[in-house]
Amino acid sequence: MGFSDPAETVMGTLVGPPSRRFLTRIRNGKMGGVVLLRNGWLTRKTAAAVTAELQQAACTRGEPLLIAVDQEGGIVRRLAWAPPTEAPDEMSGPSAAHQQAAAAAESLHSVGIDVDFAPVVDTPGSVHNFLGSRAFSHSRTWNASMARAFVGGLQTSGTAATAKHFPGLGLASGNTDNGRIVIRAAAWKLHQGLLPFQSAVRAGVKLVMVSTAVYPRLDGSKRPAAFSSTIINGLLRKQLGFTGVTVTDSLTAPAADRIPHTATRAMLAGSDLLIFGAESASERGYSTLVTDEADTPRLESRLTTAAARIRALKAWLAAHGGAACAAG
């Protein structure tokens, strides 16, 4: 496998046990990870069986998969039997957040899941913000403390945490999954909301999820954040000093889906790991990268950089008891 292989950067999407076609796609090296979507189907027994089947398929090519879920607590809880047992806004303080996250990490690890797309560290500007109970509070300083604690709880127990949704959806008028969201707030106001992200980065968070909202005061090109080098490379990497894996919010969201060559544009802007809301879109994303790589020299370089960060994350997970393929 070449170091710029696009597969490493594309996550497949499962809403039920994998089909033969899906497993073949893994064996053929066409994805580097899998995100398990939808609440309800992932019983403890099912989750363990599915992840084992996925990793067995992946190890035929010698490279384990990243397997991720959204396990925030409250309404976003893919594993109904696993912590967090409280919604983020119900957690009484950093100690509770750390304990809830550590318990979640233990449960995820027990069924072969190694990445949690949590915590939400956005700071809602009003009680009407769509995030509701998914955010810790309306205070950015409180959220910074809670972010540090939750990230520590997950990662001390060997599960990679994900701070989301950079640079913040606290001032969004709606959910980016349902429409194109433009956040017209002034730059200084948006910068205030970066404090919890900064706290998560300083706590060593392994991933940061970049939103698909548009922030005209941060990037005049009016590209969604996941397609903005100004936001990813300027704000997140240069200003906040993040060196881990950037992951997109769903690239099937309306603002992202309308961009031609979606996967390539996100990759060129600095997104390392690409996720989609549907498996058909994930397949298209992989095909787009393969086709475009031949014509875009800069894409090969970006894929190499992204793959190196993703492999470093997999190595960290393996060192903490996560998936690894036997040498052979």
Report phi then psi at 120, rounded to 5: -75, 120
Instruction: Classify residue 72: in a domain, yes or no.
Output: yes
Query: pLDDT tens, 281-321?
Result: 999 999 999 999 988 999 999 999 999 999 999 999 999 99
Residue 327 belongs to some domain of the structure: no
Question: Is 170 a member of any domain?
Answer: yes
Mean pLDDT, rounded, of the chain:
95
Quote the crossing angle between the two packed helices 297-319 and 279-293, to the nearest 10°. Answer: 130
> Is 1 a member of any domain?
no
Predicted confidence at residue 201, as pLDDT, reads: 98
Residue 325 resides in a domain: no
Number of domains making up the chain: 1
CATH number at residue 209: 3.20.20.300
326 in a structural domain: no
Q: What global pTM score does this model have? A: 0.96
Nearest to 123 by CA among 169, 161, 54: 169
Per-residue pLDDT of 178-223, as tens digits, reads: 899 999 999 999 999 999 999 999 999 999 999 999 999 999 999 9
Q: Beta-carbon neighbour count of residue 319 at 10 Å?
A: 10
Structural domain for 158, as ranges? 6-319
Any domain includes 15 = yes
Tokens for 7?
A: 């597969």
Distance CA 298, CA 293 (A): 8
Q: Which residues contact 239 (CB under 8 A, 6 or more apart)?
A: none
Q: What is the per-residue pLDDT for 326?
A: 83
DSSP, res 18: P
Does residue 158 lie in a domain region? yes
